[in-house]
Structure 1
Amino acid sequence: MEKSIIVFDGECNLCNGVVGWLLRNTDMDIFNFVPFQSSYGQEILKNNGFETNTLDTVVLLDEEGVHTLSDGFLRIIAKIPEWRAVSHVFSLVPRFIRDGVYKLSARNRVRWFGKSQFCTVNLH
């Protein structure tokens, strides 16, 4: 796999903000960003056994497989050299705690950060 693929909610302000931050702070050859609302995003979700009408987690596809929830997010930031140590420190927190915080944020992301009419990346 040339680039890791990040499938995200293109209508979520928090998700778009994180993608925008990644676009500004990573090399262009690390990630492909795919909104789940796009046809390619729908194909990826379907092919990997995910629901296609909603997305409650980031989905990272890389050379080691499919990763979601806090593991997905930590693997994403671990691919950025300046953030690798932060990822390592947070990976020491038990997964049930990390995933609990992640799920709470995911459930409330639109209420807390709003919904966007525009996606950070073009829909494929």
Structure 2
Amino acid sequence: MESEQKMLDEKIRSIAAEHPIVCYDGVCGFCQRVVQFILPRDRAGRFRFTAIQSDVGQALLSHYGLDPQALDTFVLIDNHRAYTRSTAGLRVLRGLGGGWGLLYAFIAVPKPLRNAMYGWIARNRYRWFGRTDACLIPGRDVRERFLDT
């Protein structure tokens, strides 16, 4: 068991060194739509994805000192650093490039205000966008970008 955890930690470090990783609630309809929004706009294929509920997602959150049971957060691991909530979302938009990067200007809004809006959406996401029984199943064209498949 300990050797499996060590291998997973090494895999995480290796992937995190090469690609930003988006951790999302795998049964949240809104979160799945966010991933489906990112995929076609990330033309360079930089981002990798994992559901927080997966073994990889749980290990990532633990590795970066985050609560693996916190399904109400969006996490971006980039350059061996974890970003959460609105900061993670804005950094993803910046990473998409093009016009989406301009939205990063909202980073100037005080973090408590940004995260208050984020929290309101997070609290209502299941009601507004539904909940699924399973995590997103990626198509063959993007499957290699998902760490838990």
TM-score (norm 1): 0.90
Secondary structure of the residue aligned to 2:18 is coil
The answer to whether the aligner puts 1:45 opposite 2:61 as a matched pair is yes
Q: Using CA pairs below 8 Å that are at least 6 residues apart, which structure has the higher relative contact order?
A: 1
The aligned residue for residue 20 of structure 2 is 4
Q: Deviations over 1:94-123 (max 9, x none)?
A: 211111000111111111111012322464
Q: Distance in 1 between matches of 2:29 and 2:83?
A: 22
- What is the number of residues matched between the two proteins? 123
- Greater fraction helix: 2
CA deviation after TM superposition for structure 1 residue 28, in Å: 5.2
The answer to whether the aligner puts 1:109 opposite 2:125 as a matched pair is yes
2:92 pairs, out of 64, 71, 76, with 76
RMSD over equivalenced CA pairs, Å: 1.6
Work out whether residues 20 and 120 of structure 1, in 8 Å CA contact, stay in contact via their aligned partners in 2.
no
What are the within-5 Å matches in structure 2 for residues 23-42 of structure 1? 23-27=39-43, 29-42=45-58
Tell me, which stretches of 5 or more residues in structure 2 are unaligned?
1-16, 139-147
Percent of aligned positions that are identical: 34
The aligned residue for residue 95 of structure 1 is 111
CA deviation after TM superposition for structure 1 residue 11, in Å: 0.2
Q: Distance in 1 between matches of 2:136 and 2:104?
A: 24
Larger Cα-atom Rg: 2
Tell me, which stretches of 5 or more residues in structure 1 are unaligned?
none
Secondary structure of the residue aligned to 1:79 is helix
TM-score (norm 2): 0.76
